[in-house]
Chains A and B, each alone.
Chain A
Amino acid sequence: MTDALLEVADLAAGYGGEPVLRDVAFTARPGQRIAVLGPNGGGKTTLFRALLGELTPSAGTLERPARIGVVPQTERSRLDFPVSALDVALMGTLSTLPWWRRPSRADRARARQALADVGLAERVDATFGDLSGGQRQRVLVARALVQDAPVLLLDEPYVGLDTPSAALLDRLLLDLAASGRALLIATHDVEQARDWERVLCLNRRQIAFGAPDDVLTRETLALTYGTELVELPAGDRCVLPGHHAHDHGAA
């Protein structure tokens, strides 16, 4: 698979019966931030679940690294759970730790370093539920870093973030890509996707994959979002109304 971290060919996946997503074919290479665009129910979550091995593809092939990190929406975390930022980051060690072993001092040091890398060195002992949305998002990124996964899947990480938090996350994702990881970022923000290296458009099948300038055309976006798309009067730009709902991928 050359230098590709993830290679998907003719993939179809679903929940029994008809696939809810088909004809997916793309490659993720080190250093790429890949925007995964699509309407609610378009197959973003289904794709992530297939990449994580939680769904068996009904067709096609999938070459993936042993570990893929996942950064879920923080809105779905249990904020009442009695865990610190360090506890959450340490969860990233479990994929390589036998069940009879507890995290070592070195593991704890690695988790602290990951929290420092995402700018939370001072909040290591803070209760997860007490952190702001942006900080919680970064703790979950730190957990994926501790997992040492070359590919990270981020599920709408910008939802609920204010502008300064979003800017911090932008910088963090850029750093992660620069360190040789590939990031797949589910988002509804078409304008943001223009700044990233690749765009993957889904609407129950793959509509397009490629560089933003090639993919983010009015025609492709119309096929991806259909009537949800709002066309700006001047130029070739299109925008989407605000999205907060989430694709569960179920048919």
Chain B
Amino acid sequence: MLATVWHSLVEPWQQSIDRRAFLEVVLLGLTGGALGCWIVFYNLSYSTESLAHALLPGLVLAALTGLPLILGGAAGLVVAALAIAAAARTPVLGRDTAVAVVVTAFLGLGALLALSPSTPAGLGELLFGDVLGVSDTDLLLAGGLAVVVLAALTLLHGRLLLVGFDRLNASALGVRAGTVDVALLLLIAGALLVAVQGLGNLLVVAVLVGPAACARAVTRRMSTMMLAAAAIAVGAGIGGIYLSYYAGTAAGASIAAVMVGAYAVALALGASSGRSLGTRRGAPRRAPRP
């Protein structure tokens, strides 16, 4: 029995394709889990999802012209950000509506281009990713991204906490909220550009928002939450690849499905335990005393 379980666990690792996929989801999971906590607490989940979708035309154009996807994605991000900024200035449109209009338009344009017969990469690959087909360059990019994002989050931790907690008074404490916002948005943009190649345009948000939402349900400190989210993202990524291997399902969709399952479990755990991780054992969670 044990031997069978062990064999089932080890078997996917014996294939080079799956080993690379495992490494990719570990690197993206570490990055996405930690960064996702700030996305969730800065209320940037919708913006992140919108940017991910809106960079599709850039990816497709890069595939059409033979340019690296990351360059196309970067150009797509810049154009999408400018279009959203311009649309948000339209007096009759609210910011939410402006984002929705631009994102829908860009996603449609991307699909239109991707369905062109001359586009080498299939639409499905760009939308849902190809984590089983990651190249050495993809792995190097994911490794570099993990180093940069984790180092930046470590250095900026106090400032991110202050601006998220007390934006109005940040400047009185020597911190410019705008600079912190820009730094965070740059990290999100970088993470989207790299992660979108493995997980696809539609599923990349799963690794950036899902694990953080899970961790939020069961932890009460940002550092603990970041560790938990990274662990959940890595675990769900690996679990998704196993699911894909044995159930014969698409890898990206399997990863997203495991993350959704993890979220449901975390919600149930959080509800039953009163969300206690990260507080000192035995310390009262409420103190009505003055």
Contact = CB atoms under 8 A, between A and B. Distances in A.
B164 A91 contact: no
A130 B287 contact: yes
B174 A82 contact: no
A163 B51 CA distance: 50
B245 interface: no
Contact of B165 (A68, A83, A135): A83
Nearest to B154: A102
Interface in A52-70: 52-54, 68-70
Given A94-B159, A94-B162, A165-B290, A81 B41 contact: yes
Contacts of B17: none
Interface residues of A, number: 45
B168 interface: yes
B173 A91 contact: yes
A91 B220 contact: no
Interface in A163-207: 164-165, 168
Interface of B: 41, 154-159, 161-162, 164-166, 168-169, 171-175, 216, 219-222, 224-225, 278-280, 283-290
A250 interface: no
A56 B286 CA distance: 42
Contacts of B157: 102
23 contacts: A72-B166, A72-B168, A72-B169, A76-B168, A77-B165, A81-B161, A81-B164, A82-B220, A82-B221, A82-B224, A84-B221, A87-B161, A88-B165, A93-B158, A99-B155, A125-B283, A126-B287, A127-B221, A130-B285, A135-B289, A147-B173, A164-B290, A168-B290
Nearest to B41: A81
Contact of A103 (B158, B169, B216, B284): B158
Contacts, number: 102
B188 to A, nearest CB: 19
Nearest to A80: B41
A171 to B, nearest CB: 12
A82 B225 contact: yes
Interface in A102-132: 102-103, 123, 125-128, 130-132
Given A97-B158, A125-B279, A127-B220, A92 B287 contact: no
Interface of A: 52-54, 68-70, 72, 76-78, 81-84, 87-88, 90-97, 99-100, 102-103, 123, 125-128, 130-132, 134-135, 143, 147, 161-162, 164-165, 168
The 6 A-B residue pairs whose C-beta atoms are closest, nearest first, are A95-B174, A165-B290, A134-B290, A70-B172, A164-B290, A81-B165
Contact of A52 (B41, B158, B171, B290): B171
